[in-house]
Structure 1
Amino acid sequence: MKSKQGYEPIGEERPLELGGRGDSSSSHNDDNNGDATTKSTLMMGAAAVILATLAFLIGRSTTTSTPGGEETAILPNLNNVPTRICEIYSSSHTSSKLLKSGSGGIQMIQTSFAEPSKQWSEVACVHVKNRRHLQEQDEELQQQEYGTAQINIDFDKVAFPDRPPILGFGGAFTEAAALNFNSLSQQGQDAVIELLFGKSGLGYTLGRTHINSCDFSVESYSHDDTDGDFTLDDFDTEVTHDLESGMVDMMLLAQKSVDESFPKEVDEYGMRIIASPWSPPSWMKAPTSDDVEGALHAELMTGSALPVCLRDGVGEDSKYAASWALFFDKFITAYANHGVKFYGVTVQNEPEFPAPWDACAYDVSHEGDFIANHLGPQLQKSHPDVKLLFFDHNKDHMVKWANELLAKDHPASKYIDGTAVHWYAGGMDRLLDGAQGNPNMHRMVSELDVMDVRKDHVLLGSEACHCPTTGYAGGDLSIAWARAMRNVHTILADLAAGSNGFIEWNLILDSIGGPNHLGNLCDSPVLAVPHRALDAEKDFPAQLSFEHAGHPFGEVHGDNKTREELNAEGSPAKYLDVGVVVQPMYYYVGHITRFVRPGSRAVHGLVGASAGDPEVRTFRPKGQRVAGGGINDLARNGIEVTLWPCEGSTRQEWLLNEQKQLQVFGHDWLGAPTTSCLAKKPDKDFDGLLLTTCNIDENKSGLFEVLPVEGKQSKVHIVSSNNKKSCLVVQPLRNNGGAYGPRGGPQVNVGSCDHPWAEWGFDSITGEITSSAFDALGGVCLTTGWPFLQVGAFDTSATTAANGAVIVTNEAGEHANYVIENRGETVLAASIPPKSIQTITFN
């Protein structure tokens, strides 16, 4: 599964105040190899502290640290300001192509933290033909000195017209998912299939499964355990384990649901499943440090030797590599015989990580040799229609691997059809999952063009989940909501960068996030709780026999809530009654999957600054010193620093402190103020500046001086105190920002002060640092991560009745007014509540 590189538990256990449970404190070390001797303690201790830290995503305190260092009460800026109802301005000639005559025009649905039980609820929109009404409303809002964000859309500007369209979204058919699915009654199973794959549900069309076992299996298993069986005569051609666990049947039910729900998509798209190996049979693997001295092969499928797991390497003469490639062939054939035809396979799940669970490591060179010498030729001979995706790991090293293996002179390149990538940050801090690496996605798409890779090369998000355990078990709705918001942000950002789809990890898990035979419990949008079904027998166990983790994170708080309480929190009682918990992330991701169907394409869309007075911002009124939007929950070490249109929020508020560091402020998971500082040099993997510790002794943060630019009023250089010739400079995204455009997330780096993009504005009163690099398009502000207010826009006309869809998300603790303009013409004006998502379709 995901990388947890180099975990080491330290110190003593201490209680943490999160939903009444006691967790452990752990620290992070950067050694990627980990320590196989601490596997059990490592997984439990690391997971426990991570759950607690997830609380930071939603501010628990009513105070924030300002650039002056004092604590100031944060109250919603817009409480006394009129909010917009949904008003449609459909008379524009440039908007007419979006609206089919007589169809009713625009529709908006909303899911909001303020009303968690009203998911996908329709917002009543009114048609306004007189644009003077909009001008009058703007004047009223401007009198209050609050801004209206300008969301600029261009449905004629497809971001990646020469690349494949969006293939869809989905989740993984693991053994854990199948066991939980089969624990439900027939009514429960029918509900889950419709929830995940049906027309009234998410409408998933992508899936993933494991070749042999993964960590989300009850135990390690292989389809051929005969040592030395190089021709795989003993391979289980019935894949009996997967049949008996229910994995195959669940895939067939999903395929049937997709075919019946989306008949117009079937011929070109339909249900597409990829298969990924976690580990070969142990007899194929080289011994690890855990094995006895002199062992001929690894005893277990867990862990891996380095730099490659296979016993005799991956050279042309490797018997084990050849047999392992044949294993793929037989696995694909076995599933096809059961009616499941795979769309593709990945070479290896997380090849850079010798995980404490089922694993097989490769470095880039060895994966390339395995593809070129064995797997590529084997698949080309036996399954030429099955796509081969490489990498299947985190975004940090994706471009490095692509530069080597996709080069035309590399013998593996001719066999590779796509790239699979995970959303994890690696390391200890689970709150960075889904928050890192988006500029690398842009860089990757640019590399595909530069290297002249085939235009049909697929870039697919192949795994994402939140850990540890589940929102239901933790019992804190704010944490579950924060996870939902992170999911949607990452999906929209990846699609804007050129991704072709996004696959969640497990489709369904139990109440605590298992089973997992290494105790690596995680979350999923839908959970099986058969003990809560109305027809459950008396004393039906809360944990079934396949779940042997016990209660590693303490009490399961969701079990202590009534069906009415859970229903009010957004887990509908009608599903609880058949033993199913539907979590907030389900409804959030549905704002995308239900409307951005396969065949859709990302189009230009960006939340710009507010119109009118340049000092007025979406979240900060004119004259206010403290930034708005609520706490900065991205003021966290490891977050990338980027540039976006200014919104006046705490994510764009900086202080040049007494130590000459550029500092940002937020809150940790207990509500206490936290700080991070701008690093002094770019990260080697992400190629831009990140937030880092402000501890001067650690020597990671930059020391800066703000000096006026000679002859340019109000322009400054932010000069490195260590090197007077080095300044902060704007580093544009490699593919010109993809669907967001050049102002949507360019990086910041250190470079020559003579560079024209080394000129900044620094307002020490508001804390804004602005760049004029894109003045022709509009100003941008230095931002921690991404703004509170975000948008994704899509041409959906290929397979839906709607011509377009716009998804607006607001992660702030305050509502925001906005106007959507298509090619400069206003089509809609509205407000979005705090911690909410809206989808607008143009029918």
Structure 2
Amino acid sequence: MFKNAYILIAAIIMSACSKEKSLQIDVFETASNGNKLTRLTTFSVQEDKSSIQLNPDKTFQTITGFGGAFTESSAYLLNKLSKDNRKKIIQAYFGKEGANYSLCRTHMNSCDFSLSQYSYAPTKDKALKDFSVKEDKADLIPMIKAAMQTSEDGFKLFASPWTAPPWMKDNNHWVGGKLLPEYYDTWALFFSKYLEAYKAEGIDIWGFTVENEPHGNGNNWESMHFTPEEMTDFVVNHLGPKLETDGYGDKIILGYDQNRAGLKEWVDVMFATEESSKYYDGTAIHWYESTFEVFPEDLQYAHKKAPNKYLIETEGCIDAEVPHWKDDDWYWSKEATDWGWDWAAEDEKYLHPKYVPVHRYARDIIGCLNNWVDGWVDWNMVLDRQGGPNWFKNWCVAPVIVDPENDEVYFTPLYHTMVHFSKYMRPGGQVVDVKHTDEELQVAAVQNPDNSIAVVVFNPTEHQKSFTITLGELSKDISINKQAIQTLVLTN
């Protein structure tokens, strides 16, 4: 009798508990104190807490993905390392327990982060009979294939040309100049041949940006200039129709592909009419206009101009710097300078002060998420201790730095910063409304397809902060260290 009574009471308790909702939160932190995606389970919460209120009933853009770029430089370096270190890096970027990158870029023809200048069609011939991607077969294609084999979820890959072959241009040079109108159809054919060649290698290209940095880059490395009107003419009358005719009409075409301050001029032309926007699937942007400004008004304007199209950050990096080797403190210090520190016009110098590398990444990605950007792609995945190889000696920093001579790998704090977003905010998720009362904190939230909510909180200040995060009637008190990024994963 007593045994049956105990069973009944236990059943009632279990039934009652099953009807209660409990807010489960996993907290991962990267901070200047040495935490690297460290799981936190205890918190020293202060009395003066701020609040973070989630409202998943109000949603914004759908996430396309996060990731980095496959460059010849990165791929070449991987092949200089031991098999174990190559696997370690690929696993770190594409493994489910690593960054789990979901959106990546590569270059079509050479770029500054190539070992030399090359084109898939070096011979002047409108039919492109000698087209070949043989230059990519030693390093670049094997790196992409290794990533594909490692990624359980798969990733989208888009390609960007820095320039057409010099023989198609009005200056007959790798750098600068414009595509001659007589070669518009030939250049469109080039894109189609690239898709075909990569498909033959077992690689499916998701889409393209039409031209990397169509304003040029100071006559330095591979480039080709377009005005908004010229690019739109090329896309509407040549590239779009050619891809459609050749059975590639499903490939994504992103226009522009340069800094955000020029966005308004471009989207006004690209999306002026139904005809002009017919083949554009969205807009690509970079971050080099400033070391601190996200340009929210420009991003909002671009979204309103084409609310149903992609808005993707396709390139950003710590540029004009030689990487600091195994020195985490530097990445958390306000010592980095960019190209504009030396070269920006005097009236634009204010946009290029010294900055903290980790802060720049976290601030920009959060700012983008809160202003309709649906994808964010880093530049090189791997560079060496010099910040290359780079045929132009345009040194930059990557999240992973290697020393091929000694077969060593350094995962910088920038790598862990990317993981806070790429691993936990998944494609198909939606940015959700979030309100927070501490203006010094920066916050973005995404509800994933599995209904989990990933919240990234960034504390750039020099003191610990505490907050109460609330979802409906459920809440939890959290503390975040000084100079820290946290990802909070909420599951019901």
| TM-score category, normalised to shorter length | 0.7 to 0.9
Instruction: Measure the CA separation in 2 of the matches of 1:468 and 1:207.
Output: 22
Aligned residue in 2 for 1:153 = 54
Aligned residue in 1 for 2:488 = 840
Q: 1:595 aligns with which of 424, 427, 443?
A: 424
Instruction: Measure the CA separation in 2 of the matches of 1:97 and 1:494.
Output: 32
Q: Per-residue deviation at 1:471?
A: 3.7
Q: Per-residue deviation at 1:532?
A: 3.2
DSSP-derived class of the 1:604 partner: strand
1:233-252: per-residue Cα shift (whole Å, max 9, x none)?
1212xx110002x1011111
Q: Does 1:108 align with 2:2?
A: no
CA contact (8 A) 1:151 1:821 kept: yes
Could you say which structure has the greater relative contact order, defined with CA pairs below 8 angstroms and 6 or more residues apart?
Answer: 2
Q: Per-residue deviation at 1:480?
A: 4.9
1:131-167: per-residue Cα shift (whole Å, max 9, x none)?
xxx9xx88xx3xxxxx32222221222124xxxx212
**Could you say which structure has the larger radius of gyration?**
1
Instruction: Measure the CA separation in 2 of the matches of 1:464 and 1:494.
Output: 12
Aligned residue in 1 for 2:410 = 581
Q: Does 1:393 align with 2:258?
A: yes
* Matches for 1:764-779 after TM superposition, within 5 Å: none
CA contact (8 A) 2:271 2:305 kept: no
DSSP-derived class of the 1:516 partner: coil
Instruction: Measure the CA separation in 2 of the matches of 1:157 and 1:97.
Output: 21
Aligned residue in 2 for 1:304 = 176
RMSD across aligned positions (CA): 2.2
Instruction: Measure the CA separation in 1 of the matches of 2:444 and 2:137.
Output: 40
Instruction: Measure the CA separation in 2 of the matches of 1:811 and 1:207.
Output: 28
Instruction: Measure the CA separation in 1 of the matches of 2:131 and 2:326.
Output: 42
Q: TM-score, normalised by structure 2?
A: 0.87
Instruction: Measure the CA separation in 2 of the matches of 1:581 and 1:479.
Output: 13
Instruction: Measure the CA separation in 2 of the matches of 1:211 and 1:471.
Output: 26
Q: 1:242 aligns with which of 136, 143, 146?
A: 136
Task: Give the unaligned 5+ runs of structure 2.
Answer: 1-16, 334-355
* Matches for 1:743-762 after TM superposition, within 5 Å: none
DSSP-derived class of the 1:349 partner: coil
Name the aligned partner's letter for residue 438 of structure 1: P
Instruction: Measure the CA separation in 1 of the matches of 2:143 and 2:327.
Output: 29
CA contact (8 A) 1:606 1:792 kept: no
Instruction: Measure the CA separation in 2 of the matches of 1:602 and 1:478.
Output: 32
Instruction: Measure the CA separation in 2 of the matches of 1:328 and 1:434.
Output: 35
Q: Per-residue deviation at 1:176?
A: 0.5
CA contact (8 A) 1:606 1:790 kept: no
Instruction: Measure the CA separation in 1 of the matches of 2:317 and 2:201.
Output: 29
* Matches for 1:466-505 after TM superposition, within 5 Å: 466-473=318-325, 475=327, 477-480=329-332, 482-505=356-379
Instruction: Measure the CA separation in 2 of the matches of 1:98 and 1:178.
Output: 46
Q: Does 1:284 align with 2:168?
A: yes
Name the aligned partner's letter for residue 36 of structure 2: Q
Instruction: Measure the CA separation in 2 of the matches of 1:789 and 1:356.
Output: 38
Q: 1:605 aligns with which of 422, 428, 434?
A: 434
1:313-361: per-residue Cα shift (whole Å, max 9, x none)?
3xxxx2x111111111111110010011100011100101254100000
Q: TM-score, normalised by structure 1?
A: 0.51
More helix by share: 2
CA contact (8 A) 2:282 2:306 kept: no
Number of aligned residue pairs = 450
Q: Per-residue deviation at 1:822?
A: 2.5
Q: Per-residue deviation at 1:810?
A: 0.3
- Going from structure 1 to structure 2, the CA distance change for 1:831 and 1:339 (only over 3 Å counts) comes to same
Q: Per-residue deviation at 1:600?
A: 1.3
Q: Per-residue deviation at 1:435?
A: 2.4
Aligned residue in 1 for 2:7 = none
Q: Per-residue deviation at 1:513?
A: 1.1
DSSP-derived class of the 2:417 partner: helix
Q: Per-residue deviation at 1:125?
A: 4.1
Aligned residue in 2 for 1:295 = none
- Going from structure 1 to structure 2, the CA distance change for 1:97 and 1:177 (only over 3 Å counts) comes to farther
CA contact (8 A) 1:206 1:273 kept: yes
Instruction: Measure the CA separation in 1 of the matches of 2:292 and 2:86.
Output: 30
Aligned residue in 2 for 1:806 = 455
DSSP-derived class of the 1:497 partner: coil
Q: Per-residue deviation at 1:517?
A: 1.1
DSSP-derived class of the 2:151 partner: helix
Q: 1:255 aligns with which of 148, 151, 171?
A: 148
Q: Per-residue deviation at 1:489?
A: 1.5
Name the aligned partner's letter for residue 251 of structure 1: I
Instruction: Measure the CA separation in 2 of the matches of 1:250 and 1:364.
Output: 34
* Matches for 1:492-641 after TM superposition, within 5 Å: 492-533=366-407, 579-609=408-438
Instruction: Measure the CA separation in 1 of the matches of 2:268 and 2:326.
Output: 42
Aligned residue in 2 for 1:421 = 285
Name the aligned partner's letter for residue 233 of structure 1: K
CA contact (8 A) 1:485 1:588 kept: no
CA contact (8 A) 2:323 2:387 kept: no
Q: 1:230 aligns with which of 104, 126, 136?
A: 126
Aligned residue in 2 for 1:44 = none
1:287-329: per-residue Cα shift (whole Å, max 9, x none)?
2xxxxxxxxxx2x31x212xxx113x3xxxx2x1111111111
Q: Does 1:371 align with 2:235?
A: yes
Q: 1:120 aligns with which of 25, 37, 55?
A: 37
CA contact (8 A) 2:331 2:413 kept: no
Instruction: Measure the CA separation in 2 of the matches of 1:329 and 1:207.
Output: 19
